[in-house]
Amino acid sequence: METPARQEADGEAVAAFVERFAADLTEAGIPRMSSRIFACLLAEADGVLTAAQLAERLCASPAAVSGAVRYLAQQHMLSREREPGSRRERYRLHTDIWHEVVAGRDKVFARWSATMRAGVKAVGEDTAAGRRLAEAAAFFDFTKAELAAMVDRWHRSRALTRENQA
């Protein structure tokens, strides 16, 4: 059985992890409060918390939590669900969260590639800007293909690891 001192120390370690990983995510371009909420859910045993629980754990206002979870839902990093028998919503990390976050970027790369190709037509293929935009489009096409292959390799690797653990 854990002592209150041990529980407090564990709570402090978890809070430190949440803030550290949130800082990493913020540095990568995710809004700060969304980063904190994502990290907090990631550290939660079942990956599920209500808005009130998030606000309490992160010392944040309900409005800040609401805006941040909206962003995370739009990025497909969590989903909203009703708490059984209640009007309250709770927020859940997806089961394969990293796969979903990374795999979802292929749509972004496809869109960027199409936009770069439209830019090539606008500025002309034989211009310095046209060549630069064509190179960017080719890079996004390459990255999209490599991302799909990487996700496939991950699925095979995870399945093999699970087989070896069984």
Position 75 scores a pLDDT of 85
Each residue's pLDDT tens digit, 21-59? 999 999 999 999 999 999 999 999 999 999 999 999 999
Q: What is the pLDDT of residues 124-149, one digit of tens each?
A: 999 999 999 999 999 999 999 998 88
Q: With contact defined as beta carbons under 8 Å apart, do 38 and 77 qualify? A: yes
pLDDT(4) > 60:
no
In 95-127, alpha helices (H) = 97-103, 105-123
pLDDT at 8: 54
In whole angstroms, give the CA distance from residue 133 to residue 124: 10
pLDDT tier for residue 123 given thresholds of 50, 70 and 90: very high
Helix/strand/coil for 45: coil
Contact status, residue 69 vs residue 91, Cβ threshold 8 Å: yes
**Residue 19: Cβ within 10 Å count:** 15
Q: What integer is the mean pLDDT of 109-130?
A: 96
Average pLDDT, the chain: 89
Q: Within 13 Å and on the Cβ side, how many CA atoms surround 100?
A: 13
∠ Cα 27 92 158 (to 5°): 75
At residue 5, does pLDDT exceed 70? no
pLDDT in tens, 61-103: 999 999 999 999 988 889 988 877 888 889 999 877 887 777 7
Contacts from 73-79 at CB under 8 Å and sequence distance 24+? Answer: 75/101, 75/104, 76/100, 76/101, 76/104, 77/38, 77/101, 78/38, 78/41
| pTM of the predicted structure, to 2 decimals | 0.75
pLDDT at residue 1 greater than cutoff 70: no
